[in-house]
Structure 1
């Protein structure tokens, strides 16, 4: 069941929070919804869930608005700014919601086990750490066994082991054919989790593709050190490669380490260091959201 945003726009008091946003989230994949704080991610998700009315455009789940599904909580599990009564236990919180979602009480213990909270089921939520609250929020989204999961910053507050656990769970849920949309303002936080990426800045789409395609956009380069950097730079420029001098080394783009080494050898130039530096996704992400670089091949739809 896919999620579709078509021409979605919303302003608050003259401030344009979301502007003509169009993209699709495919089932069976984990999609990272990325952008800096204040970029419009939460407003977009709230419009999807019917909590905010758009000025223009549509946000659809399985071809219809969330509220038009007969049992919406069993279609979409969403965690947006989750809050809990501090005096309730984790089990009590979920048991209160179960009749509204339309699931039996037995489902409560199933989801508590799924998120690793069985041992804390009868503890009051007021004593939970932020990471435990995140797990309870995820249990709430899973209560109706939905086909679609919408999670706003789910890794916030999780320790490294918790982040690995979350990554494995989300990938498992996607492998079952569910649609998983995860928002974050930090690419590194979701890089090992997602299949697709959608990047917005100032309420506008700046990039949408598979993660693999975004990796290809990243700027890999060769780091070169030697006794005569000026001569090495000339050699590289004669080959048509891009050269940036960075203090005690050169950064050469458009060639492999082997090509740079061969050109230096042919020109009789000594090289003390020749290192191929992998794709820097974080730098590419920051360029996208700052407006310094927008991929010309950005798409309006994430490939299935």
Structure 2
């Protein structure tokens, strides 16, 4: 059961709160509609339930608030607006990445692709999906964790009649297995036809909480819809005859040549039009939403009614419906219902009754390393950046080798004197900046938990993957440039330097450090551009400053540090370890190494500090 108690949003700029003291229940085994016109506070109410909006009140999901649920995606499935994710990611890649975030096997994604009618669209990019397929993908994302409760914001908006029918049959199958379904809608006929209970909002406050049958009887008012080229003339005639007969009839002029007649029927309106010689292009009885005075009808709801099919009362349409993907056929609906039943079975195993003490919610992927790999490899920007780095580095290496004035390390890395960083370091920093930058620009983890998670597991996964990518990129650049130089100039002109171990360590440390600077910079400032700026700040700002500091007259040398450490540690210190320590100190002691180390330390501290502040607010 979902229990919302006293939900009140924080008002902004001396305006009344979008949601004010909202209290209602959504029971298991039933579909509940949150009805209201645009701006009534429906979406804000959902965000308050999910703790995404600042305000007061609390929402219990089977007796537990969301911040006390260990794994929220396994208890609450959410769809707010469009499906979050990079538009260039494929449908299959998106679901597999979310499987790692939810902690479910990849087979669950394949199962939902079949049951939700997405077969054949697995390789399509998210940004190219039609609205029907996009909504099915959103439902698949919400159902990945086999949740007990579904919170959906306008799930049927923009869908065709067959697709909307299929959607509501799927929601009813989920409720029939004991789940709780709460969705928002602007259409009163949709609420009366597809929900078991209707909660009506107006101006952020609760207006009514009724069964669907009572709602249809008390809050839906029948009307006659007339379309005629002489709307004003017919409206005057109907009003005049109603006054003469002392009947409570009201005529409301809609857009264009359309009239809505309340308190009459088709026969009476047709007879009036015939007597006054008014041609009729359309004459039909409908049910529309109304509240307050008749003249103040909910026009937003009326617009939704005009788009819906004709329906009397609160009965639900029956019969097969056909969709482009075939999921609207009877066989497709049976398969979807079976998928929901399997989800409910898994849900009963995964989630208890909520009587025990819950752990702190996991606000990061349950399998962060697998999630990060799917995120990195699922977008075309990764291979494009790698290919651009190899091409630019190879071109610069050939140009520097032809001039003969640059040193061999600079030639192999494609690092001209005018560039602050070599292409490989810039590319590693850019890929690292994408690690958090894409999380904020195309959020995939924020559907049910708000801000991008800052748990240590996710950060360590991003740092580990960024380091591996940077190492591979650094080795590839040197190998490709070396082979190209040997092919062009001959192998005997490209000797191997004696200090190649320290050069390799410096090179790999530079690319890994730039990658980490990009990850942390984007994580702290919430943008990929900030991550790239953090990478460029090392050679542009910090290295020149440190060169002045490290070359000052009062600087002391650390040349004898390994020997002093060996004396302190005892006689077991081997000479080989002495050489390695001296080499490591030499690499780290360079201005670029010191500046990069200080930058990474500062960014890490800032990342942890902002994460602690956010956790304190929660």
Alignment TM-score, normalising by the size of structure 2: 0.38
**Pair 1:280-2:279 in alignment:** no
8 A contact 2:242–2:249 mirrored in 1: no
Match of 1:23 in 2: 24
Q: How does 1:31-46 map to 2 (within 5 A)?
A: 31-46=32-47
Q: Structure 1 residues 176, 232: CA separation in 2 closer, same or farther (over 3 Å shift)?
A: same
* SS of structure 1 residue aligned to 2:52: coil
Post-superposition offset of 1:118: 1.7
- Mapped partners of 1:93, 1:85: distance in 2: 8
- Mapped partners of 2:93, 2:263: distance in 1: 60
Q: Structure 1 residues 289, 61: CA separation in 2 closer, same or farther (over 3 Å shift)?
A: farther
More relative contact order, 1 or 2 (CA 8 Å, 6+ apart): 1
Post-superposition offset of 1:134: 1.0
Q: How does 1:243-282 map to 2 (within 5 A)?
A: 280-282=287-289
Post-superposition offset of 1:43: 1.0
| 1:147-194 residue CA offsets vs partner (Å, 9 max, x unmatched) | 100000111232222111112111111111110001112223444211
Post-superposition offset of 1:38: 1.4
- Mapped partners of 1:180, 1:219: distance in 2: 26
- Mapped partners of 2:263, 2:25: distance in 1: 37
8 A contact 1:130–1:157 mirrored in 2: yes
Match of 1:69 in 2: 69
- Mapped partners of 2:48, 2:60: distance in 1: 10
* SS of structure 2 residue aligned to 1:87: coil
- Mapped partners of 1:62, 1:251: distance in 2: 43
Match of 2:445 in 1: none
Moved more, 6-15 or 192-201: 6-15
Match of 1:57 in 2: 57
Aligned residues: 265
Q: Indicate the RMSD between aligned Cα atoms, in angstroms.
A: 3.5
Q: How does 1:87-126 map to 2 (within 5 A)?
A: 87-126=88-127
Structure 1 residue ranges without an equivalent (≥5)? 223-228, 257-271, 291-304
Q: Decide which structure has greater helix share.
A: 2
Q: Structure 1 residues 212, 105: CA separation in 2 closer, same or farther (over 3 Å shift)?
A: same
- Mapped partners of 1:221, 1:36: distance in 2: 19
- Mapped partners of 2:107, 2:86: distance in 1: 21
Structure 2 residue ranges without an equivalent (≥5)? 225-238, 253-260, 266-274, 276-283, 300-618
Q: Structure 1 residues 20, 120: CA separation in 2 closer, same or farther (over 3 Å shift)?
A: same
Alignment TM-score, normalising by the size of structure 1: 0.74
Post-superposition offset of 1:107: 0.3
8 A contact 1:170–1:193 mirrored in 2: no
Q: How does 1:133-152 map to 2 (within 5 A)?
A: 133-152=134-153
* SS of structure 1 residue aligned to 2:19: strand
Q: Structure 1 residues 190, 214: CA separation in 2 closer, same or farther (over 3 Å shift)?
A: closer
8 A contact 1:215–1:281 mirrored in 2: no
Post-superposition offset of 1:202: 1.2
- Mapped partners of 2:242, 2:91: distance in 1: 64
- Mapped partners of 1:87, 1:64: distance in 2: 37
Q: How does 1:131-280 map to 2 (within 5 A)?
A: 131-217=132-218, 218-219=220-221, 280=287
Post-superposition offset of 1:94: 1.0
- Mapped partners of 1:288, 1:22: distance in 2: 25
Q: Structure 1 residues 6, 243: CA separation in 2 closer, same or farther (over 3 Å shift)?
A: same
**Pair 1:3-2:2 in alignment:** yes
* SS of structure 1 residue aligned to 2:97: helix
8 A contact 2:222–2:288 mirrored in 1: no
Post-superposition offset of 1:281: 4.3
Q: Structure 1 residues 212, 91: CA separation in 2 closer, same or farther (over 3 Å shift)?
A: same
Post-superposition offset of 1:19: 0.5
| 1:84-104 residue CA offsets vs partner (Å, 9 max, x unmatched) | 211111111111111221211
- Mapped partners of 2:128, 2:216: distance in 1: 41
- Mapped partners of 1:108, 1:61: distance in 2: 25
